[in-house]
Chains A and B, each alone.
Chain A
Amino acid sequence: MKIYLDNAASTKVSKEVLEEMKPYFSKEYGNASSLHDFGQRAKKALEKSRRIIAESINAETEDIVFTSGGTESNNFALKGVAFANKEKGNHIITSSIEHDCVINSCRWLEKQGFKITYLPVDKDGFVSPEDVEKAITKKTILVSVMHANNEVGTIEPIKEIGRVCRKNNVYFHSDACQTYTKIPIDVQEMNIDLLTINSHKIHGPKGVGALYIRKGVRIEPLMHGGGHEFKKRSGTENIPGIVGFAKAVETAKKSDITHMTKLRDYLINEIEKRISEIILNGPKGEKRLCNNVNFSYRFIEGESILMRLNEKGVMVSTGSACSSNSLEASHVLLAMGRKHEDAHGSIRMSLSRDNTLEEIKYVVNQTEKTVSDLRKMSPLWNR
């Protein structure tokens, strides 16, 4: 039995998406910039996809720029806005729990002379809109706060943050890779100026994403070339990927959210009932992403939990240092005030619409057994 609970990392490409993509590899393979039939058909597919994605977030069609994924969209938003607005100021505000591609873009911008404020979060991972407002100065050009955190599933108050930004005339960017199609997004109502979304978290292909850029936002391209994507992102468009991305959006259903929420709450409740000395990382209830479960199992280490579960066919992820190339524990958990040893013992289980209650029951049993076995082995566990 293979049970995949790492859907926050990536998801399976759905059948519908795969079928939709197929013709664009070897039948409809034209370049969307070409004037002949094949080119024009590619162009049509491209523009249809753009429309679908724009409508899904209540954006203007021309405000969607396709990219190679979440990482590129975040790099583009931060660096592009920073360099285009240097005259106005050099200050950017973000949170301390952003995805590495935001944090490391910010670190790079610091080397280029920009000043970055990394806002703290509370014990559940929430950024406070008041903190955002207090951090804004005359030099602030951009605020970037993610919609929901990829490790602990905390849903940030981005509507309130958007309001603060609009009031203070500062651009607002949000990384919505984890929430897109899982939480309704309306860029008008939420006062979002730039929004990062990607495809492979929603049963679409890897290597495709988009950046929503509100009309009038000053931004420098990262990619210079033939002027594709409204002169904002040059490079021949990845038509199969883009078509698949749009199909993934079209095939996401409300009932998927209900299903994942149910499984999530079952998993959280059962683990809390059956395993002692654990810490739920992130909030409970409505403010938690529908597919995220993240616990720290005290006195044991996450990579060993992960590897033992993997032996049983259950695939999860961990915030332990031992599993990262940097050998540092999750910056998200540390920012939430977790102790290092508890961050090392964290396991994230992230669901998809394809998971079943039967699978989750098996996972609960295996988790209980694994934790108990490893605790018997731990010099920190004395009972």
Chain B
Amino acid sequence: MEYSKKVMEHFTKPKNMGEIKNPDGIGTVGNPVCGDLMKITIKVSKNKKGKEVIKDVKFKTFGCAAAVATSSMVTELAKGKTLNEAEKITRNDVAESLEGLPPLKMHCSNLASDALKEAIKDYRKKKNK
């Protein structure tokens, strides 16, 4: 598979791999039957201005090299961002930060930003209970 250097970097040495204990939000997307499953856990805290930010974020992924690299990249992009900013991270942002993905992988293995959105949604749901 023809992957960019950046994809291979994040695939062979992924950042923020693992699972946060007692997370504030959990987002799971994909399905192992299709070959991809991603789980993102986040920890949220308030910054000096009183805005909610992603203090910590980790991923676990079952999937191809692109799935792992996009997971790793989305955690890098999200870390320290406010929830409103983090929510706006798109699949394209992730792909661009990775210097592109093979066309075939744009749809199926680029679910990491969706998993992040799910984690934020989960956090808000729990908070508003």
Residues of chain A touching chain B, judged by Cβ–Cβ distance below 8 Å, are 299-301, 303-304, 307-308, 311, 320-323, 325, 327, 329, 339-341, 344, 376-380
| CB atoms of A304 and B33 under 8 A apart | no
| CB atoms of B104 and A325 under 8 A apart | yes
A303 proximity list for chain B (CB < 8 A): 1, 64-65
Q: Which of B6-29 contact A (CB under 8 A)?
A: 8, 11-12, 14, 17, 28
| CB atoms of B63 and A308 under 8 A apart | no
Nearest 5 CB-CB pairs, A to B? A322-B64, A303-B64, A379-B60, A341-B32, A379-B39
A-B contact pairs, 22 of them (CB 8 A): A299-B62, A303-B64, A303-B65, A304-B64, A307-B3, A308-B12, A311-B8, A320-B64, A322-B64, A322-B109, A340-B32, A340-B34, A344-B32, A377-B17, A377-B60, A378-B62, A379-B28, A379-B38, A379-B39, A379-B62, A380-B37, A380-B62
| CB atoms of B108 and A327 under 8 A apart | yes
Q: Name the prevailing secondary structure of the B interface residues.
A: mixed
- Digit string of B91-110 for contact with A (CB within 8 Å is 1, else 0)? 00000000000001100110
B33 proximity list for chain A (CB < 8 A): 339-341
Q: Given that A344-B32, A344-B35 are contacting pairs, would A378 and B64 also be in contact in the complex, using a CB cutoff of 8 Å?
A: no
Residues of chain B touching chain A, judged by Cβ–Cβ distance below 8 Å, are 1, 3, 8, 11-12, 14, 17, 28, 32-39, 60-68, 104-105, 108-109
B32 proximity list for chain A (CB < 8 A): 340-341, 344, 380
Distance to closest chain A CB from B88 (angstroms): 25
| CB atoms of A322 and B63 under 8 A apart | yes
Given contacts A304-B67, A327-B108, 13 further A-B contacts (CB under 8 A): A299-B62, A301-B35, A301-B64, A303-B64, A321-B34, A323-B1, A325-B104, A340-B33, A340-B35, A344-B32, A377-B62, A379-B61, A380-B37
Whole-angstrom distance between the alpha carbons of A152 and B68 in the complex?
27
A320 proximity list for chain B (CB < 8 A): 35, 64
| CB atoms of B35 and A329 under 8 A apart | yes
A301 proximity list for chain B (CB < 8 A): 35-36, 62-64, 67
B37, B38, B61, B62 — most chain A CB neighbours (10 Å): B62
| CB atoms of A321 and B37 under 8 A apart | no
| CB atoms of A304 and B12 under 8 A apart | no
Closest to B3 in A: A307
Whole-angstrom distance between the alpha carbons of A94 and B49 in the complex?
70
Closest to A343 in B: B35
Distance to closest chain B CB from A312 (angstroms): 10
| CB atoms of A379 and B104 under 8 A apart | no
B38 proximity list for chain A (CB < 8 A): 379
A339 proximity list for chain B (CB < 8 A): 33
Distance to closest chain B CB from A103 (angstroms): 21
Closest to B37 in A: A379
| CB atoms of B61 and A377 under 8 A apart | yes
Whole-angstrom distance between the alpha carbons of A323 and B1 in the complex?
7
